[in-house]
Amino acid sequence: MKLHFVNSGLFKLDGGAMFGIIPKKMWNKLNPADEDNLCTWIMRCLLIEDGNRLILVDTGMGDKQDEKFRSFFQPFGDDNLLSSLDKLGFRPGDITDVFLTHLHFDHVGGAVMRNDSGNLVPTFPNAIYWSSKIHWEWAMNPNSREAASFLKENFVPLQEAGVVKYIEYSGQEIFPGVTTQFLFGHTEEMMGLHIDTGTSKFFYCADLVPSSFHIGLPYIMAYDLRPLVTLKEKEQLLERAVTENIYLLFEHDPTTGCVSVKKNEQGRIVIDQHVALASFI
């Protein structure tokens, strides 16, 4: 099994929203904001290469939204989902499975594209798209607080094309060495992925721990629906990561994709080492 990061682009989000109750004087040292209080983040997808399977985890924002929408998040950079896959030597038709951690626009937008006729179609024509049924229904009928994050053009066409399958339970091994975990703090039944390559263990954090800046327990996004649930889920993950030597994979950290963690002398869990995925291949 090989793991590859797939950069689907950079974008900007409000620093206060990303760091919640943490004062700007503290978080601005980690990821400095611009004059509009916006910080730069990445949309770092993951590609799992295992035998005949090519599993893409999340798909970034895509490029089909209008300029007004894009102006709020200012996507930029030379990389996008398909160009990054191309650099790895893969084409859209090579992808066998797309695992969607949740259906917020910056995680699912690249799953659907406009074809030459202007119709919305799955970006990866030969892939099965994996989601959670409860989360899917949540996204179809969102509450007012979260509605702006669920854009139905990003995922309804997948259902209409008949390419969606649902994870049945938390802890389900959907592929050999790849196991799901349901999470409820950030949104209803988001999914993280435990990945065991046979020699190393990883956890793709999605928005439970969106960056290395969020390893500290109080560092919880204001976007989260249930911050105290996030706190508990994060604490459990970090303890397990220390005990089982699990590497954490970050979806939104602008510079750091993978770390190991340890407990320091005060008993706090902190970064041990920054790790390059290439070192595991």
Contacts of 197 (CB under 8 A, 6+ apart): 1, 3, 177, 280
Q: What is the mean pLDDT of residues 25-54?
A: 97
Contacts of 213 (CB under 8 A, 6+ apart): 19, 27, 30, 31, 219, 253
CA-CA-CA-CA torsion sign (156, 82, 130, 201): negative
Whether 279 shows a pLDDT value over 80: the answer reads: no
pTM assigned to the model: 0.96
Tokens 């594209």 found at: 113
Q: What is the pLDDT of residue 126?
A: 98
Whether 277 shows a pLDDT value over 90: the answer reads: no
146-204: per-residue pLDDT in tens?
A: 999 999 999 999 999 999 999 999 999 999 999 999 999 999 999 999 999 999 999 99
In words, the CATH class of domain 2-280 is alpha beta
